[in-house]
Amino acid sequence: MNIAGIELHWIRPELLWTGIPLVICALLLSRQGFQQRSWQKHIDPSLLPYLLDGKPGGKPRRSALILLIAAALTWLALLGPAWEKVPSPLHKNTEGLVAVLDLSPSMLAEDIQPSRIRQARFKLRDILHSRRDGQTGLVVFAGDAFVVTPLTDDVNTLLTLIPGLNPGMMPLPGSNPLAGISLAKELLDNSGGNGSILLISDGINKQQLSNLKDALSDIDYPLSVLAVGSADGAPIPLPGGGFARDNSGNIIVPSLTVSELQELAAAGNGQYRELSIDDSDINALALDTASSLKNSEIEDRSERHYDQWKDAGPWLVLLLLPLALLGFRKSWLPSLLPLLLPALFAFQPSIANAFEFKDLWQTPDQQAAALLPTDPQAAAAKFEDPMWKAAAQYRAGDFAAAAESYRQFDSADADYNRGNALAKANKLDEAIAAYESALQKDPTLSDARKNKKILEDAKKSQEQQQQSGDDKQNQSGDQNQQNQDSQNNESQSEQSQDQQSQDQQSQNQSEQSQQEDSQNQEQSDSQENQNADQDSSQSEDNQQSEANEGESEQGDTEPESEQTQAEKEAAEQRDAKLAEDYVRQAAEQNEAIQKAMQENQDAKQAAALAPSDEPLSEEDQAREQWLRKIPDNPGNLLRNKFRYQHQQRSEQQGTNEDYAPY
């Protein structure tokens, strides 16, 4: 259709029948106007408002006209009007690329600054940015190979995982490129068998080259090699300082094996390129991938473009907005709401209080993550992810529940967090066992080793204090036993001499009054003279009773019941004081343990969140905000995943010994 020199095309002409109701409404509206005009021929215009129902051309007619125009615009938008063509490729690139990244210890060498692994990560990001279409997968290998992501067109996911890749996350150190290439082949086979493999490595040895050539004979995908490193090489730095050494004590200096990698690329029908600071290596590898395809297919792709009509229907929908505002002004559009509300309520769930509006946009874990800083208890109840739930329980102070939640995971980080929760719950033995389990799975966890030593020292100190308290209680018990024996001997003496017992009672009363007067410093000289003989005789009886050790003597006339009672009370007071001191020291020690662990954790968080002197770019700021939404960094998650997969493979098929040590 050509209108005023513009070629008009309808993208969806099969919807023309939807305009039939619109035509009927337009006919009815025009018929009503025709009837009103026919009456105007026979009746005086001044009498028409009184004789006809409604004013001619009044409000009902205008409202109907607005509705008719809005319906017509909607109908035209549905038909898809188009008057412009845009070029569009007929073929969509569905080729897959699997990058196989070397994470062997030699990638830590710093012969290229800042290091081989960092340069490889930077180049891998550039490769992902350069791929406009097609799917991309990522495989990493050291002594064993693992899939980071399968073939996907979501480049952003890969970009967020790349910064966490490092040789320290691999459960089995070494270099086994054959395992990585075999895993890449499986990914391409599962995606439909169309794609290529890119090996990013710093070298292989002669034995590995021979095995790889044999394996490439069964692989139909081109294999290209991107070499990282230099021929001079550099030592491998260790995490604790120093450099890696061989069995003879010599420092290992791995260099780039250019000839072996070139032979591998030639055997894989690919191309060899060394890493460069610009995009020349990426462009060369992309051309090599295209050249491996058939020429006819390349020419066919270059010609298979066609012009596609650009749909202008959405622009017509914008014209409905002024009509909608006019409808609100004329008050006929709100009158339709009572007809629409029952239909809206019909789609609501039967239990309205179980559904919230935010459930449409956020998962329960995302909602709980938003609650975690302010209300960790509510966040723990809302989390569905077990690891996040355990972290929320720990922050809420429910350490016992957090320890049980961490027990579900078989990883070093989970055991370390479980040990922290048990230590907070004052279960020192279980916490030490959890730290030992974490160190067995990952000996590099320095925080677990430090916390374990703190708890062991605290436990030894408590045991020493408890043993000291028991010794003092035993000594007090022996002294009380001797006093009890002395008291029994005195009671036997009382039974044999009744008269003498009465005299002793009077003497004891005098002694008690004397002790009270001595304590209050209010005694008189006359009372001291009267009781002097009684005190001397009682002192002699006490010495005689202690020397005889429980033997009854006829001349023992002054019992020591009041004195032994006072000593018993004093011993009880000492025991109570010792127990109180022990409880207080244990509480102080426990508080010191909690404070040390909290300082350790705060220092770790402060180091992770320390601001940099240089301002962050927009990309880094966006990545930092995204990382704050998850409880842990992707590197730790990948480390746990690789460790779990390696344990499963070792149990099922054993460890593959065909790999280099670095």
| pLDDT 10s digits, 11-24 | 888 888 888 888 88
Residues lower than pLDDT 70 in the chain: 1-5, 32-45, 48-63, 87-94, 193, 286-307, 326-362, 466, 468-617, 626-634, 653-662
Amino acid letter, 387: M
Distance CA 290, CA 97 (A): 12
Where in the chain are the domains? Answer: 2-83, 96-244+251-303, 416-488+561-607
Distances (CA, A) of 461 to 271, 449, 467: 66, 19, 10
Looking at beta carbons, which pairs linking 151-157 to residues 24 or more positions away fall under 8 Å? 151/96, 151/98, 151/187, 151/188, 151/190, 151/191, 151/195, 155/128, 155/129, 155/131
Q: What's the alpha-carbon Rg for the chain, to the nearest Å? A: 46
CATH 3.40.50.300 holds for 96-244+251-303? no
**Residue 243: exposed, middle, or buried by beta-carbon count in 10 A (0-12, 13-18, 19+)?**
middle
Reported as a single tens digit per residue, the pLDDT across 255-300 is: 999 999 999 999 999 999 999 888 888 888 864 434 334 343 444 4
DSSP characters over 473-533: HHHHHHHHHHHHHHHHHHHHHHHH-HHHHHHHHHHHHHHHHHHHHHHHT---HHHHHHHHH
- pTM beyond 0.75, yes or no: no
Nearest to 118 by CA among 254, 203, 228: 228
Nearest to 447 by CA among 611, 603, 311, 276: 603
Question: What is the widest separation between alpha-carbon atoms in the chain?
Answer: 156
Residue 2 main-chain phi, psi, to 5 deg: -115, 115
Nearest to 542 by CA among 516, 511, 502, 588: 511
Distance CA 526, CA 520 (A): 16
Amino acid letter, 205: N
**What pLDDT shows up at residue 538?**
40
**What pLDDT shows up at residue 512?**
39
199 strand-pairing partners: 100, 225
H or E element that contains 3: strand 2-3
- Quote the tokens at residue 271: 């191309």
**What pLDDT shows up at residue 421?**
87
**What pLDDT shows up at residue 541?**
43
